[in-house]
Structure 1
Amino acid sequence: MFSTDRAQAIADKVEAFVRETVIPYEKDPRCGFHGPSDEMVMEMREKARAAGVLTPHILPDGSHLTQRETATVLIRSGLSPLGPLACNTMAPDEGNMYLLGHVANEEQKAQFLKPLVEGRARSAFFMTEPAEDGGAGSDPSMMKTVCRQDGNHWVINGRKAFITGAEGAKVGIVMAKSDDGACMFLVDLPDPAIRIERVLDTIDSSMPGGHAVVRIDNLRVPASQMLGASGEGFKYAQVRLSPARLSHCMRWLGGCIRAQEIASAYACKRMAFGKPLVDHEGVGFMLAENMIDIRQCELMIDWAASVLDTGSLGTVESSMAKVAVSEALMRIADKCVQVMGGTGVTQDTIVEQIFREVRAFRIYDGPTEVHKWSLAKKIKRDHKHA
């Protein structure tokens, strides 16, 4: 996989920190059903700060590593589900930092971006809406949350769903629809006008605060806290979502590399029918197939990242990578569980959690089927113009 000397040096430090300091936290009782506690996250981040690996993809001068360099670092951070939290490379914060770095003005960066980069606050991205309301999901044009200008404020009303990390977040990015189209607003949290109705019980458990259903009732936001211009929200969403879905691929590839390590060690030690499991073709071939899938994921991520590094939005490439990588990671995680048999479905190792997290990843940031549908539309458009 492509890397530079600076990215490799950062990635090596990140990997050492994750393996030596973060992995022991995986058995911490503060890891709950709706993610690790904020107390634990901040404890790990202080250790990351001391080790010089906090927010490693953003350099001290505020500039970012390239996307290809970021891949080198984020894959290593993902060797534990807690690694991205400790190193401050986790969703939704990583994607929100990227968005604010590209769209926010200097005053907004000082108020909202700075505490995120410093790892002292978490954020939430309020876009998806409840299906029962007929709101926006994979189709953001269905957005029901509305905003209207009232003097030097905007007033927002609506409901949101699957809002990762809303509980405990300090910074919010809220999408709503004005007469001009979609808008984005920066919000200090908590705010009494934003009420968490419930935190959903989901298959995954890696993100602090879980995924919430939220009601927004007459939220007043100063006009100065609109991100960019009225009606440009969907454009800004693409600025965020293309690299963000690729970052998910990077982090969970790290997790699957770890699962493959654990499953391989198990297969080489566990005896059955007179020989190690790995010597049985049915087992050894699964691990060999995982090796191939891991390499293909690396290549796919590197290719999509190189397109983003040209300045392109890379929506087609990131969609292709999201489909290919998420499906491959599911195969990898599933085979690791299968190789380990009964042990694979217990919490004795992290393999069980990685399997659950990757299953959820096939849906988050756009289900496989939506990305394939989008790619099929491109094929049709290209054919018409051929």
Structure 2
Amino acid sequence: MDGNAHLLSKCSTQEDVYALSADIGQEVERLVDGFGVDAASSLVPKLIRVLELLEAAVQQNETLRGEADQLFQTVCQLEYDKKEKAQFRKKFDQELEQIEDMWRSEMNDLSGLVSRLQEENSRLSTSLREKTNLLGEGHDDSDRSEGHFSRSGVTSLADSSHGGGGPDSGVFTNGGLSQSDIDMLNRLKEAFNKQASQLHSYESELAQRLTDIQSLKHQVERLRRSGLDSVQRVRQLELQLGRSADEREHLIRRLDEEQREKEQLRQEINKEKRDAQDELLEAVIRLSPPSPTEYKKMCQEKKELEARVRFLEGELEFYKPPVAKTPSEDSGGEETEAPESSRKSRYPPDDVDLPVQGPINREPEDKLDYSDFSHGGSSLSIKRFFPKLLWSSRRS
């Protein structure tokens, strides 16, 4: 009974159920051999039913275990994907923050550069207008002075040609320009040329700065578009992460339901095991060991059966076909007649029925070798582990 309880506690696979069925079948065989078919006729169908239920429960348990393992692997994979996505999102957020910081610094630098260029442009424009006005006034003064100088020169030449010239012939008369005025005009002309060249260089520098500003504007626009694309990708990743979280919750709920069903099946299996153990205990209790009187009676029956066997052996020897006799054996024929008559007188007549007791001989199909089934290597039905006469509680 301790061995059966140990096997019941270890029925986790279909092979264990078959091994337990084989052991119970052997126990039933011993019960039938010792106490007859009636002792186990009502117990075996119940045992078969319990073992069939146990087999079905074990099969369902194996199926549920496989599904649970698959779901556990899926959950592990989803958790791993979630961790990878979280790491990727964290790295992406850091890169996005770095890009935004760099973009802000570049925008601040570009804004400061644009402000400085605008101030310099306004300053250069003001300076250019002032210099243009000043140069326009200088051209007017130079034209008037040159006309006056030419008229004065002509007058002086005319006077010198008529009057013969004097010591004051090098001085302009009639409002002519002095040497200091001419030097001032030359200095103004040189300053004008210098400022014109500077203005050309400033204009070329301003054009270059405007080109740089335009390229920086294009770069800022490109960075803005890349930032929008990054924000859109982040939103898509958030949506995917939400869907993955929903799928994970669904799988967790399904796994919990499978666990609850598995626990219910385990409880039912334990209940069936306890019922089977109780029935086995009741059967063993009902089959009490024989008393000394019954044992003596069984020994007497055994002796009677041995006598019956010897009688049947003699009958078999008597009904064997005679062997062909040789001429040398004819002389001994009269001697053989006496043993035959003595054999007939030694055994009881055929019309006397001796009592036959003991176990009923089974058919060959009911005799099975349980050594193969005890290792869980067969896929036969549970009924095949028990005698065919005991499959049903009604016997013909």
TM-score (normalizing by structure 2) = 0.18
Structure in which a larger fraction of residues adopt strand: 1
- Identify the structure with bigger relative contact order (alpha carbons < 8 Å, sequence gap 6+): 2
